[in-house]
Structure 1
Amino acid sequence: MNCELAHERIVLAAYSELPDEQVHELDRHLAACTECSQEREQLRALKTLATAYPVVEPDPNFVTRSRIRLEDSLDAIPPKRWFERFGQRVLNNFANLQAAPVAAVLLLIVGGGAGTLGGYEYAQARAAHAAGRVPAATAEKADSGQATPIPAEVSNISSVVRQPNSQLVDVTYNQVVPQHIQGSLDDPAIRQLLMLASENASSQGVRDDSVGLLAAECRAGHACQGEGIRDALMVALRYDKSEAVREKALEGLQPFVAVDMRVRDAVLEALLNDSDPRIRAASIGVLEPVEADTGVRRVLSTVANSDNNPHIRTVSREVLSRAPEFQ
């Protein structure tokens, strides 16, 4: 058994969803693999921490708003062009033919590449031909004083309807037009845009700047409601791929670790699971105001005794030693 398969089975075993024969196989692997054994211990500590707190049902209004926001985001995604869909279909077919002979796979690759390239060149030719025709048609109408401006930044056409018994055609199209807004950090519109920017998957720089500004607002003691800036920072701490963005999110959450249980749990998750040792060590410092909490001390004890990083073990022991009566 390799470590990747072991990681999947550790989660299933933790929730008693792994068959007995696979449990025995997993135990044999864990006995010989220190890294996987460490991951199991961390998962057990996280489960223990989770059971220490009651499960709170989300507010129905919050769930509704989240669903509406998700639907709006999905609607805003532009549809894929036909050659993009064709390329995706080729890739899916290729994945389904992993067991096919080598000659068939090579033929599929060559044919798919030629088809995609030909389709792309055909689409480009059609676009160039259409671009040459539209200005000419516009010029003819301009001579008669009835010029229709050429639409700019067209992302796609959603409908084309010809009016009955007429030469008029109604074309509905969607545009992608950059917009600009300026305002202070306490402006609700600016804050909303910053929270959206913190989830910008295409630009790490935008995420870094927006999370940095949101974190600075929280550290300065300005309004950081749970269902808003604080939530955006917790999402960034848990899921952002950039260490710099996660570190800024952790700094912004520090003032709330003693008053918001959700923030405390997010910081504990970072301590247990973050891939950057600096962020894990910083998480211990953030947890110092709540070091006497039972769940926090349980996690710190696990890290202090069994973490692979000696610096993190040392820092955890130092924090635990400050309240010996709770040991």
Structure 2
Amino acid sequence: MNCELAHERIVLAAYGELPDEQAHELDRHLAGCSECSVERQQLLALKTLATAHPVVEPHPNFVARSRMRLEEALDALPPKSWYERFGQRILNNFSNLQAAPVAALLLLIVGAGAGTLGGYEYAQARAAHVAGRAPVVAANTESVQPITTAPVTAPAEVANVSSIVRHPNSEIVDVTYSQVVPQHIEGSLDDPSIRQLLMLASQNASSQGVRDDSVGLLAAECRAGHACQGEGIRDALMVALRYDKSEAVRLKALEGLQLYVAQDMRVRDAVLEALLNDSDARIRSAAISELEPVAADTGVRQVLSTVANSDHNPHIRTVSREALSRAPVFQ
């Protein structure tokens, strides 16, 4: 046994997770290796010191929040391609092939082939993506007029959205944005170009006013049921609800998502996160109101129960208990 393997097994042995056969082999190595023996003594001393301090149980809110984030992260993982799964299977069994030169050579050849194929597929996908964007970019570089009154395709590269103005009692919105030079288009809220610019403006870190205007318009479109698809306006509102620094912007985003809490699990998770994480009590209270129609759901009921029993804000605890008391209970 070499010292590197012994270092790994010392940790397992200290916590009683090393099989007896490997433990005996480790003892024989430690008897003849003073460096590894000292390391084991230091680890045991550290373990003894750690056990002298009580283990603090995590807060229930933290556990529920972490579980939700983990589930969301796992759902967001893209599916692996066949060559990635094949390569992972080979790597998992690589330790059993170390003593087989022929098998190792075969592994090298297969890995090179899989890498070449993966690079080819990536290059093909990249070329298709660039080709799809080329006509849009070309069309916008040819236009040098600062003001365009007819609906146009939103440019693929926008530096900044500087202002948004809605015409009174109208569906018409003026959006001023910057590219190489400031640009201006005018169109209806149903215009895909306007919608794309509004979604971009909702992430404008330099101007809270622009974010507020854009999220307010997007939320109004969702509340009116105007093509608020998951991949588009709805996603932009969820991003604003989770990450925007302005309480007013987050509250508008939350209001825009209200109609979709029951039908879209991603929206429901975003609202639950707002209840658990947001620093503004108004937003948390509004989140409870939006979750009340789906309070019979097991996950929602669990979060509401946790908040009702242990949240630091008395008002939030009271509102959560009231929502639970009105929720139907299925036997």
Which structure has more relative contact order (CA 8 Å, sep 6+)? It is 1
Instruction: Determine the structure 2 residue equivalent to 1:204.
Output: 208
Return the letter of the residue paired with 1:199.
Answer: Q
Instruction: Determine the structure 2 residue equivalent to 1:325.
Output: 329
8 Å CA contact 1:237, 1:249 repeated in 2: yes
Quote how far apart the aligned CAs of 1:272 are: 0.2
Quote how far apart the aligned CAs of 1:57 are: 4.9
- CA spacing shift, 1:184–1:254, aligned 2, 3 Å: same
Quote how far apart the aligned CAs of 1:56 are: 3.2
* Residues 1:231 and 2:235 aligned together: yes
Return the letter of the residue paired with 2:302.
Answer: R
CA distance in 1, matches of 2:278, 2:49: 28
8 Å CA contact 2:296, 2:329 repeated in 1: no
Name the SS for the 1:179 alignment partner.
strand
8 Å CA contact 1:304, 1:312 repeated in 2: yes
1:278-321: per-residue Cα shift (whole Å, max 9, x none)? Answer: 10010000111211000000000000000011111001001111
Instruction: Determine the structure 2 residue equivalent to 1:219.
Output: 223
Instruction: Determine the structure 2 residue equivalent to 1:182.
Output: 186
8 Å CA contact 1:291, 1:319 repeated in 2: yes
8 Å CA contact 2:272, 2:287 repeated in 1: yes
Q: Could you tell me which of 306, 310, 315 is aligned with 2:310?
A: 306
Quote how far apart the aligned CAs of 1:176 are: 3.2
Return the letter of the residue paired with 1:44.
Answer: V
Q: Could you tell me which of 59, 64, 67 is aligned with 1:45?
A: 64
User: Following superposition of structure 1 onto structure 2, how do residues 11-26 of structure 1 map, counting pairs within 5 Å?
Assistant: none
Name the SS for the 1:181 alignment partner.
strand
Larger displacement relative to structure 2 (272-281 or 40-49):
40-49
8 Å CA contact 1:300, 1:316 repeated in 2: yes
Identity of aligned residues (%): 72
* Residues 1:251 and 2:275 aligned together: no
What is the alpha-carbon root mean square deviation over aligned residues? 3.3
- CA spacing shift, 1:239–1:185, aligned 2, 3 Å: same
8 Å CA contact 2:247, 2:280 repeated in 1: yes
8 Å CA contact 2:296, 2:328 repeated in 1: no
8 Å CA contact 2:272, 2:303 repeated in 1: yes
Name the SS for the 2:282 alignment partner.
helix
- CA spacing shift, 1:320–1:213, aligned 2, 3 Å: same
Name the SS for the 1:235 alignment partner.
helix
8 Å CA contact 1:304, 1:314 repeated in 2: yes
Instruction: Determine the structure 2 residue equivalent to 1:293.
Output: 297
Return the letter of the residue paired with 2:237.
Answer: L
Structure 1 runs (4+) deviating above 4 angstroms are 19-28, 48-55, 57-60
CA distance in 2, matches of 1:23, 1:217: 56
Aligned residues: 193
Return the letter of the residue paired with 2:75.
Answer: V
CA distance in 2, matches of 1:22, 1:226: 52
8 Å CA contact 1:52, 1:295 repeated in 2: no
**Any stretches of 5+ residues in structure 2 without a counterpart?**
1-45, 80-124, 134-158, 160-178
8 Å CA contact 1:49, 1:295 repeated in 2: no
Quote how far apart the aligned CAs of 1:239 are: 0.2
Normalising by the residue count of structure 2, what TM-score does the alignment of the two structures yield?
Answer: 0.52
8 Å CA contact 1:301, 1:320 repeated in 2: yes
CA distance in 1, matches of 2:75, 2:64: 20
CA distance in 1, matches of 2:193, 2:254: 24
Quote how far apart the aligned CAs of 1:325 are: 3.0
